Structure 1
Amino acid sequence: MHRQVLTITLILLMFNVFGRDEGSTTDDSGLAFEDKLAACAACHGVNGDAPLAPDYPVLAGQYKDYLQSALSDYKTGRRQHMIMNMQVEALQLSDSDIERLSAYFASKSGVVGLGE
Protein backbone atom coordinates (compact mmCIF):
# COMPACT_ATOMS: atom_id res chain seq x y z
CA MET A 1 0.00 0.00 0.00
CA HIS A 2 2.77 2.46 0.92
CA ARG A 3 4.60 1.80 -2.34
CA GLN A 4 1.38 2.39 -4.28
CA VAL A 5 0.83 5.73 -2.52
CA LEU A 6 4.38 6.87 -3.23
CA THR A 7 4.11 5.81 -6.87
CA ILE A 8 0.86 7.74 -7.31
CA THR A 9 2.38 10.79 -5.66
CA LEU A 10 5.42 10.72 -7.91
CA ILE A 11 3.27 10.33 -11.03
CA LEU A 12 1.05 13.26 -10.02
CA LEU A 13 4.09 15.38 -9.29
CA MET A 14 5.62 14.49 -12.65
CA PHE A 15 2.49 15.48 -14.57
CA ASN A 16 2.04 18.64 -12.56
CA VAL A 17 5.69 19.71 -12.91
CA PHE A 18 5.74 19.22 -16.66
CA GLY A 19 2.21 20.46 -17.28
CA ARG A 20 2.02 23.60 -15.18
CA ASP A 21 1.66 27.15 -16.42
CA GLU A 22 4.68 29.26 -17.22
CA GLY A 23 3.46 31.69 -14.56
CA SER A 24 3.96 29.19 -11.75
CA THR A 25 6.85 29.96 -9.48
CA THR A 26 9.07 27.50 -7.69
CA ASP A 27 10.87 27.81 -4.38
CA ASP A 28 14.22 26.48 -3.18
CA SER A 29 12.91 22.92 -3.45
CA GLY A 30 12.30 23.43 -7.19
CA LEU A 31 8.61 22.70 -6.73
CA ALA A 32 5.73 25.11 -7.23
CA PHE A 33 3.02 25.31 -4.58
CA GLU A 34 0.69 23.51 -7.02
CA ASP A 35 3.10 20.55 -7.03
CA LYS A 36 3.01 20.38 -3.25
CA LEU A 37 -0.78 20.58 -3.26
CA ALA A 38 -0.89 17.75 -5.83
CA ALA A 39 1.23 15.59 -3.52
CA CYS A 40 -1.32 16.09 -0.72
CA ALA A 41 -4.17 15.38 -3.13
CA ALA A 42 -2.65 12.04 -4.11
CA CYS A 43 -3.65 10.60 -0.73
CA HIS A 44 -6.31 12.98 0.60
CA GLY A 45 -8.17 13.99 -2.59
CA VAL A 46 -8.06 17.29 -4.48
CA ASN A 47 -10.27 19.03 -1.94
CA GLY A 48 -9.03 16.97 0.99
CA ASP A 49 -12.37 15.18 1.27
CA ALA A 50 -11.63 11.90 -0.51
CA PRO A 51 -8.82 9.99 1.22
CA LEU A 52 -7.23 7.14 -0.71
CA ALA A 53 -7.41 4.78 2.28
CA PRO A 54 -9.91 4.58 5.14
CA ASP A 55 -7.23 5.32 7.74
CA TYR A 56 -6.11 8.54 6.00
CA PRO A 57 -7.74 11.64 7.47
CA VAL A 58 -10.16 13.99 5.76
CA LEU A 59 -8.39 17.36 5.60
CA ALA A 60 -11.30 19.41 4.25
CA GLY A 61 -12.89 21.59 6.88
CA GLN A 62 -10.25 20.94 9.54
CA TYR A 63 -9.13 23.92 11.59
CA LYS A 64 -6.25 25.77 9.94
CA ASP A 65 -4.31 25.91 13.22
CA TYR A 66 -4.67 22.14 13.68
CA LEU A 67 -3.41 21.42 10.15
CA GLN A 68 -0.48 23.82 10.59
CA SER A 69 0.44 22.20 13.88
CA ALA A 70 0.25 18.69 12.44
CA LEU A 71 2.38 19.52 9.37
CA SER A 72 4.91 21.40 11.49
CA ASP A 73 5.13 18.42 13.84
CA TYR A 74 5.75 16.06 10.89
CA LYS A 75 8.43 18.45 9.63
CA THR A 76 10.26 18.55 12.98
CA GLY A 77 9.75 14.86 13.70
CA ARG A 78 7.60 15.43 16.80
CA ARG A 79 4.82 13.55 15.04
CA GLN A 80 5.66 10.25 13.37
CA HIS A 81 4.02 8.62 10.35
CA MET A 82 6.19 6.92 7.75
CA ILE A 83 4.47 8.39 4.70
CA MET A 84 3.87 11.88 6.09
CA ASN A 85 7.41 12.30 7.39
CA MET A 86 8.80 11.26 3.98
CA GLN A 87 6.36 13.53 2.12
CA VAL A 88 7.15 16.59 4.22
CA GLU A 89 10.87 15.98 3.81
CA ALA A 90 10.68 15.26 0.06
CA LEU A 91 8.53 18.33 -0.59
CA GLN A 92 10.76 20.54 1.58
CA LEU A 93 7.73 22.31 3.00
CA SER A 94 8.49 25.81 4.18
CA ASP A 95 6.52 27.55 6.93
CA SER A 96 4.78 29.49 4.15
CA ASP A 97 3.86 26.23 2.35
CA ILE A 98 2.46 24.82 5.57
CA GLU A 99 0.39 27.95 6.13
CA ARG A 100 -0.93 27.95 2.54
CA LEU A 101 -1.74 24.23 2.52
CA SER A 102 -3.49 24.53 5.88
CA ALA A 103 -5.54 27.51 4.70
CA TYR A 104 -6.47 25.72 1.47
CA PHE A 105 -7.79 22.58 3.15
CA ALA A 106 -9.43 24.52 6.00
CA SER A 107 -11.40 26.52 3.41
CA LYS A 108 -12.90 23.38 1.86
CA SER A 109 -16.18 21.84 3.00
CA GLY A 110 -15.75 18.88 5.30
CA VAL A 111 -17.59 15.62 4.90
CA VAL A 112 -20.81 15.74 6.91
CA GLY A 113 -21.75 12.59 8.79
CA LEU A 114 -18.38 10.88 8.48
CA GLY A 115 -18.05 8.42 11.32
CA GLU A 116 -21.73 8.43 12.24
Structure 2
Amino acid sequence: MLKPTIILFTLVCLSSAVSADDVARGGELAKTCAACHGADGNETIGGTFPRIAGQYQSYLEHSLREYRAGRRENAVMGAQATNLSDADISALSAYYASLPGRLGTVRKD
Protein backbone atom coordinates (compact mmCIF):
# COMPACT_ATOMS: atom_id res chain seq x y z
CA MET A 1 0.00 0.00 0.00
CA LEU A 2 2.88 2.35 0.71
CA LYS A 3 4.39 1.96 -2.76
CA PRO A 4 1.29 3.24 -4.66
CA THR A 5 1.11 6.19 -2.27
CA ILE A 6 4.74 7.10 -2.95
CA ILE A 7 4.19 6.83 -6.70
CA LEU A 8 1.08 9.01 -6.52
CA PHE A 9 2.89 11.60 -4.38
CA THR A 10 5.77 11.72 -6.87
CA LEU A 11 3.40 12.23 -9.79
CA VAL A 12 1.59 15.04 -7.99
CA CYS A 13 4.89 16.77 -7.22
CA LEU A 14 6.06 16.47 -10.82
CA SER A 15 2.80 17.84 -12.18
CA SER A 16 3.05 20.81 -9.81
CA ALA A 17 6.51 21.66 -11.15
CA VAL A 18 5.21 21.58 -14.71
CA SER A 19 2.28 23.76 -13.71
CA ALA A 20 4.62 26.33 -12.14
CA ASP A 21 6.52 26.52 -15.44
CA ASP A 22 3.23 26.84 -17.32
CA VAL A 23 2.08 29.65 -15.04
CA ALA A 24 5.32 31.59 -15.55
CA ARG A 25 5.23 31.10 -19.32
CA GLY A 26 1.54 31.95 -19.40
CA GLY A 27 2.27 35.23 -17.64
CA GLU A 28 4.56 36.19 -20.50
CA LEU A 29 2.03 35.15 -23.15
CA ALA A 30 -0.77 36.98 -21.33
CA LYS A 31 0.73 40.39 -22.06
CA THR A 32 -1.13 40.27 -25.38
CA CYS A 33 -4.39 39.39 -23.62
CA ALA A 34 -4.17 42.41 -21.29
CA ALA A 35 -5.49 44.77 -23.95
CA CYS A 36 -8.96 43.23 -23.59
CA HIS A 37 -8.94 41.33 -20.29
CA GLY A 38 -6.78 43.73 -18.24
CA ALA A 39 -3.32 43.19 -16.78
CA ASP A 40 -4.65 40.81 -14.12
CA GLY A 41 -7.47 39.21 -16.13
CA ASN A 42 -10.08 40.94 -13.97
CA GLU A 43 -11.12 43.77 -16.27
CA THR A 44 -14.08 44.02 -18.58
CA ILE A 45 -12.69 46.63 -20.94
CA GLY A 46 -15.68 48.52 -22.29
CA GLY A 47 -17.96 45.97 -20.61
CA THR A 48 -17.44 43.71 -23.61
CA PHE A 49 -14.73 41.27 -22.60
CA PRO A 50 -15.11 38.75 -19.77
CA ARG A 51 -13.06 38.51 -16.61
CA ILE A 52 -10.98 35.37 -16.94
CA ALA A 53 -8.81 35.43 -13.81
CA GLY A 54 -9.70 32.60 -11.45
CA GLN A 55 -11.64 30.72 -14.12
CA TYR A 56 -11.24 26.94 -14.27
CA GLN A 57 -8.16 25.91 -16.24
CA SER A 58 -10.08 23.20 -18.10
CA TYR A 59 -12.73 25.71 -19.18
CA LEU A 60 -10.12 28.18 -20.45
CA GLU A 61 -8.28 25.45 -22.36
CA HIS A 62 -11.48 24.18 -23.93
CA SER A 63 -12.58 27.69 -24.91
CA LEU A 64 -9.24 28.59 -26.49
CA ARG A 65 -9.15 25.34 -28.45
CA GLU A 66 -12.69 25.94 -29.68
CA TYR A 67 -11.80 29.49 -30.80
CA ARG A 68 -8.68 28.19 -32.54
CA ALA A 69 -10.66 25.50 -34.37
CA GLY A 70 -13.38 27.97 -35.39
CA ARG A 71 -16.09 26.09 -33.48
CA ARG A 72 -16.61 29.02 -31.13
CA GLU A 73 -17.18 32.28 -32.93
CA ASN A 74 -15.68 35.61 -31.99
CA ALA A 75 -13.59 37.58 -34.48
CA VAL A 76 -11.11 38.89 -31.90
CA MET A 77 -10.62 35.63 -30.00
CA GLY A 78 -10.55 33.56 -33.17
CA ALA A 79 -7.72 35.69 -34.55
CA GLN A 80 -5.79 35.56 -31.26
CA ALA A 81 -6.21 31.81 -30.75
CA THR A 82 -5.24 30.86 -34.31
CA ASN A 83 -1.53 31.25 -33.57
CA LEU A 84 -1.56 29.49 -30.19
CA SER A 85 0.01 26.04 -29.84
CA ASP A 86 -1.38 23.45 -27.43
CA ALA A 87 1.48 24.33 -25.06
CA ASP A 88 0.59 28.04 -25.30
CA ILE A 89 -3.04 27.28 -24.51
CA SER A 90 -2.07 25.17 -21.49
CA ALA A 91 0.30 27.87 -20.23
CA LEU A 92 -2.22 30.71 -20.63
CA SER A 93 -4.96 28.66 -19.00
CA ALA A 94 -2.72 27.73 -16.06
CA TYR A 95 -1.72 31.37 -15.61
CA TYR A 96 -5.25 32.79 -15.58
CA ALA A 97 -6.55 29.95 -13.41
CA SER A 98 -3.83 30.73 -10.85
CA LEU A 99 -4.91 34.36 -10.45
CA PRO A 100 -7.47 35.49 -7.89
CA GLY A 101 -10.68 36.18 -9.72
CA ARG A 102 -13.35 38.76 -9.16
CA LEU A 103 -16.12 36.74 -10.73
CA GLY A 104 -19.60 37.69 -9.71
CA THR A 105 -23.19 37.97 -10.76
CA VAL A 106 -24.97 40.96 -12.18
CA ARG A 107 -27.67 42.47 -10.00
CA LYS A 108 -30.95 43.29 -11.68
CA ASP A 109 -32.40 46.44 -10.17
For 2:77 and 2:56, the matched residues in 1 are separated by 19
Deviation of the 1:68 alpha carbon: 0.2
* 1:60 to 2:53 alignment: yes
Q: Amino acid of the residue matched to residue 100 of structure 1?
A: A
Aligned to 2:16: none
Identity %: 43
| Deviations 1:15-50, CA, capped at 9 Å, x for gaps | xxxxxxxxxxxxxxxxx862x311111100111001
The answer to whether the 8 A contact 2:51-2:103 is kept is no
The answer to whether the 8 A contact 2:67-2:73 is kept is yes
Unpaired segments of 5 or more residues in structure 2?
1-24
TM normalised by structure 2 equals 0.68
Deviation of the 1:65 alpha carbon: 0.2
Deviation of the 1:71 alpha carbon: 0.2
Secondary structure of the residue that 2:33 maps to in structure 1? helix
Match of 2:81 among 75, 88, 111: 88
Match of 2:89 among 85, 88, 98: 98
**Structure ID, larger Rg:** 2
Large movers: runs of 4+ above 4 Å: none
Unpaired segments of 5 or more residues in structure 1?
1-31
TM normalised by structure 1 equals 0.64
Equivalent pairs, count:
82
Bigger share in helix: 2
Change beyond 3 A, Cα 1:112–1:95: closer
Give the superposed CA RMSD.
1.7
